[in-house]
Amino acid sequence: MNLSFSAREMGDLVVAWLALGLAFAIFFERGATGFLQSGVVYPLVVSLLTAGVGFLLHELAHKVVAVRFDQVAEFRADYSMLFVAVMSAVVGFLFAAPGAVHHRGYLTEREHGLIAFAGPVMNLLLAGVSVPLLVFGVSAGSDLITEIGAKGLAINLFLAAFNLIPFGGLDGKTVVGWSKVVWFVSFVVSAALAFFVVFVRQIGF
C-alpha cells in the first residue's frame, strides 16, 4: 500500500486540525468570552488532543482504507465551513464540517461501504483508548489527563454515532447501502454508549 500525502493535503489537514481545535475549545468554554477568560492555552490543548485528533484520524482512516483498495485519495479541507465552525462556536453553538477525503477509481459496494465505515470505527477505537487515560488521570490526580480522557471518550462516541446516521453525505448512508446489519449494530452500540456517557454519566461535555 502506497500511502503518501501531497503538500496541499498536509496543509489542509493541519489547518482543519487547528481550526477544529479552536472551534471546540471555544465551544467547550461556552463562547469566546469564556475561552479568553480560561487562559486560551489549556482549553486549546485539550481540544486539539481530543476533538481535533478525533476528526483528523477519522478522515485519515477513510484515506487509508481507500488507498488499500487502490484508490487515489486525498483529504480536502472546506475552508468556508471551517470558518463557520469557528464563528458558530463564538456565538455559543457548533456546526463543524471540516472537509472530506475524496477518492476516485472503481469500487465495489462492499469496498465503498468499508471506506465509509472506517471513520466511525476509528472514533470508537479512540473512545476505547480514552478510557484508560481517564482512569489513569483520575488515579494520578492529573486534571489535564482526566479531561483529555473524559472529552476524548465523549467526543469520539458522539462522532461515531453522528457519522453513522444514514442521511445526506454522512458515512451511515453508505454503510447502509453495503450492509444494513453492520450499520444497525454499529449505530445502536455507538449511539447507546454516547447517550450513556454524555447524558447519563455526563462525561466530557
- pLDDT, one tens digit per residue, over 15-62 is 999 999 999 999 989 888 888 898 899 999 999 999 999 999 999 999
Which H/E stretch holds residue 19? Answer: helix 7-28
Query: What is the total residue count of the chain?
Result: 205
Which H/E stretch holds residue 74? Answer: strand 72-77
Q: Exposed e or buried b for every residue in 162-200, given b needs 16+ CB within 10 A?
A: bbbebeeebbbebbbebbeeebeebbeebbebbeebbee
Q: Are 83 and 163 within one domain?
A: no
DSSP per-residue string spanning 156-189: HHHHHHHHTS-STTSHHHHHHHH-HHHHHHHHHH
Domain boundary residue, one of 80, 103, 126: 103
The pLDDT of 129-147, averaged and rounded, is 95
Q: Are 4 and 95 within one domain?
A: yes
Q: Are 97 and 136 within one domain?
A: no
Domain boundary residue, one of 53, 82, 103: 103
Q: Are 159 and 97 within one domain?
A: no
Domain boundary residue, one of 103, 131, 158: 103
pLDDT above 90 covers what percent of the chain? 80
Q: Are 137 and 45 within one domain?
A: no
Q: Are 99 and 82 within one domain?
A: yes
Give residue 91's pLDDT: 87
Q: Are 79 and 48 within one domain?
A: yes
Predicted confidence (pLDDT) at residue 66 exceeds the cutoff of 90:
yes
As given in the structure block, the three cell numbers for residue 163 are: 457519522
Q: Are 99 and 116 within one domain?
A: no
As given in the structure block, the three cell numbers for residue 126 are: 479512540
Q: Are 144 and 163 within one domain?
A: yes
Q: Are 97 and 141 within one domain?
A: no
Active site residues: 59
Residues 6+ apart with CB under 8 A from 120: 58, 159, 160, 161, 163, 164, 171, 175, 186, 190
What type of residue sits at position 164? L
- pLDDT, one tens digit per residue, over 77-93 is 999 999 999 999 998 88
Q: Are 94 and 154 within one domain?
A: no
Q: Are 92 and 29 within one domain?
A: yes
Please state, as a whole number, how many other Cβ atoms lie within 10 Å of the Cβ of residue 104. Answer: 10
In which domain, by residue range, is 187 found? Answer: 111-205
- HSE-up of residue 137 (Cα within 13 Å, Cβ side): 17
Integer Cα distance of 200 and 168 in angstroms: 29
Count of domains for the chain: 2
